[in-house]
Structure 1
Amino acid sequence: MSWRGRDVVSIRDFTRRDLEELFDKTRQMEAHARGRLDLLKGKILAVAFFEPSTRTRLSFETAMKRLGGDVIGFSSAEGTSVEKGETLADTIRMLDSYADAIVIRHRAEGAAKFAAEVAEAPVINAGDGAFNHPTQAMLDLYTIWRIKGRVDGLRVGIMGDLKYARTVNSLLEGLALFDVDVYLISPEFLRPRQETLDYIESRGLKYKLLAKVEEILPDLDVLYVVRIQKERFLDPLEYERVKGSYKVTAHMLKGAKEDLIVLHPLPRVDELDPSVDKTRHAAYFKQAAYGVPLRMALLSLILS
């Protein structure tokens, strides 16, 4: 399927070949991530962010401007007609009449799919609800591919809140396109949703559920960390009991492979100690930086 004019709602809508094409294009765009191309001159991207964002929103805006295009939109519902009671459908129709593509982030699951049904222009999901964040998964997979030179054959650990972190759901669905071993490390009640587990099982992804990272850390090639969300715990004492077990420190990584890479979608709180920043394993800032060329590649494939 061609990328041109395509919606990006869920990682499930893409094949391995699609992602490999995107990776090759991203690799080319790295040379221009600090420059300017005129590939999308005259095109306008609308960013509709109903939830806070730093990296995703700014990397999309930077990518569009690096490609010679322009950006309109908002970074919160404040100051827009949403405060007056405007429906999501009407907001999307308005943006659709102004722009060549729409990037949306929304608190409600299914918002991006709904927007894609309303708009004629391509719609890109920048995170909706607690389930989908396809371009983050594309970025995560690209970072692994770029640093490791491959995705197949790797052992990937994913640690933290695996139930409510939308980055995790999309990443797992993306990893299901490759031949990898995945280790899901979390408290029992924060394991991935059954729907996600059912999907990756149907795609043949090999995974194992673990309670502690120490059980598998020496064997990992990639450790992907997300925040344990304190607000999900009914008992504060239970949170205090587990939070230390889901924190990565430089000392902990002394037993890891020399070429282990640690990834994090950011922002971090206390689950990833700053001491890790100075180790050879830290790849999360490079991961964030790759967001610009990856989204340049994505926009150029969809709009040019």
Structure 2
Amino acid sequence: MTSPSPLWTGKHVLSCDQFDEAMLHVLFETASAMKAMVATKRKSAILTGRVLANIFYEPSTRTMCSFDAAMKRLGGDVISVSESSSSAKKGETIEDTVRCLECYCDILVLRHPVKGTAAQAASAMKKPLINAGDGVGEHPTQALLDLFTVVSAHPRAKSTAEGLQLDSLTLTLLGDLKHGRTVHSIARLVTKLSRPPTLHLVSPALLSMPAEICDELSKANVPMQASDDFAAALPAADVLYVTRVQKERFATEAEYAAVAGSYVVNAAALAAGPAKPDMLIMHPLPRVDEISTDVDADPRATYFIEMENGMYVRMALLALVLGADLSAL
């Protein structure tokens, strides 16, 4: 592999709207190369001398740590900022924060509780910014690693130079589709595919997918249906993508209690479905009670593989956006 790729170099990563199939193919090929490199050499030096700023105004385990590990696996360094440790406590604007931090680093990763803040911050910057989640907006790097996981793990999914071939699959999104930025990004990413999967949107009525995203799916001719019946949807699912009900997005405890625990994926439910033997069970994590721990030993449980893939995809993003020489891997 060689680099830089003009498709990625120097670009902000803000929304799944900005991707096309050529970009996805380059990214997934690079992520596969990163996975092979880690398995054999553990580390590379292709980003030596580069610095990443991790700016997280919301709690994070997987996204923050995987970006940190990704940069260090490639020889770079990381500085970390949280809301409690930044001058946001003193009233500093997000624009001033990122303009100061880009003086010290080469690329920024930002998580913020307010939708649209990543784009707002990027508009003030000269260096690239990666959106690590903006409130109920999007989480594009999660969608990228999720799609990479499907392509890597499902026997009927393929990634070729001509595009991703997912049209033989049914992707069932289950749970909080209203507040879940991961499912918003997955839906938007699917609209970029010439051969998309069929989407089955399963949620309580109060947590249904936002209308504007359903409109985007319709305009892109993505096959889809919506229901609130998990048991009826399960037998057709090739990928079951489960999300937690996001308590932190509700105005009152009563509103949350009305929909909490709406669906539980456990061994009994999978057997009763019955779920397909090659179905992938995915979850962006953290989970609360929507996937029972008795599913963890099921060979279809893919969520921890998904988390590992997150590091490889983020390694690929950092290398591509920073224009690293991939021939040196």
Per the TM superposition, whether the score is higher than 0.5 is: yes
Q: Secondary structure at the match of 2:209?
A: coil
Does the CA-based 8 Å contact 1:32-1:293 persist in structure 2? Answer: no
Q: Secondary structure at the match of 2:123?
A: helix
State how far apart, in whole Å, the 2-side matches of 1:206 and 1:185 are. 14
Does the CA-based 8 Å contact 2:66-2:310 persist in structure 1? Answer: yes
Does the CA-based 8 Å contact 1:40-1:300 persist in structure 2? Answer: yes
Q: Secondary structure at the match of 2:85?
A: coil
**What does residue 161 of structure 2 align with?**
none
Q: Which runs of 5+ in 2 are unaligned?
A: 1-5, 158-165, 325-329
Measure how far apart 1:234 and its partner are: 6.1
**What does residue 176 of structure 1 align with?**
191
Residue 123 of structure 2 aligns with an amino acid whose one-letter code is E
Structure 1 residue runs of 4+, over 6 Å off?
Answer: none
Residue 147 of structure 1 aligns with an amino acid whose one-letter code is A
Measure how far apart 1:181 and its partner are: 0.5
Q: Secondary structure at the match of 1:223?
A: strand
Residue 88 of structure 1 aligns with an amino acid whose one-letter code is I
Does the CA-based 8 Å contact 1:33-1:292 persist in structure 2? Answer: no
Measure how far apart 1:156 and its partner are: 0.7
State how far apart, in whole Å, the 2-side matches of 1:158 and 1:33 are. 31
State how far apart, in whole Å, the 2-side matches of 1:237 and 1:167 are. 21
- 1:1-304 equivalent positions in 2, closer than 5 A: 2-33=7-38, 35-74=42-81, 76-149=82-155, 150=157, 151-178=166-193, 179-230=196-247, 232=250, 236=254, 239=257, 243-254=260-271, 255-303=274-322, 304=324
Q: Secondary structure at the match of 1:197?
A: helix
Q: How many residues align?
A: 302
Q: Which runs of 5+ in 1 are unaligned?
A: none
State how far apart, in whole Å, the 1-side matches of 2:294 and 2:219 are. 39
Q: CA-to-partner distance for each residue in 1:86-122, whole Å, 9 max, x for gaps?
A: 1111101111111110000001111110111111110
Q: Secondary structure at the match of 1:97?
A: coil
Residue 225 of structure 1 aligns with an amino acid whose one-letter code is V
Cα pair distance change 1:237/1:42, threshold 3 Å: closer
Does the CA-based 8 Å contact 2:122-2:128 persist in structure 1? Answer: yes
State how far apart, in whole Å, the 1-side matches of 2:262 and 2:281 are. 16
State how far apart, in whole Å, the 1-side matches of 2:264 and 2:168 are. 26
Q: Secondary structure at the match of 2:33?
A: helix
Measure how far apart 1:148 and its partner are: 1.1
Does the CA-based 8 Å contact 1:42-1:70 persist in structure 2? Answer: yes
Deviates more, 1:263-272 or 1:12-21: 12-21
Residue 86 of structure 2 aligns with an amino acid whose one-letter code is T
Q: Secondary structure at the match of 2:301?
A: coil
Q: Secondary structure at the match of 1:78?
A: helix
Percent same amino acid among aligned pairs?
42
State how far apart, in whole Å, the 2-side matches of 1:80 and 1:237 are. 33
Does the CA-based 8 Å contact 2:51-2:107 persist in structure 1? Answer: yes
State how far apart, in whole Å, the 1-side matches of 2:120 and 2:286 are. 27
Measure how far apart 1:195 and its partner are: 1.0
Q: CA-to-partner distance for each residue in 1:266-297, whole Å, 9 max, x for gaps?
A: 00001111011011211001100111111111
Does the CA-based 8 Å contact 2:175-2:262 persist in structure 1? Answer: no
Does the CA-based 8 Å contact 2:74-2:315 persist in structure 1? Answer: yes
State how far apart, in whole Å, the 1-side matches of 2:86 and 2:246 are. 30
Residue 16 of structure 2 aligns with an amino acid whose one-letter code is I
Deviates more, 1:244-253 or 1:46-55: 244-253
Residue 298 of structure 1 aligns with an amino acid whose one-letter code is L
Cα pair distance change 1:96/1:209, threshold 3 Å: same
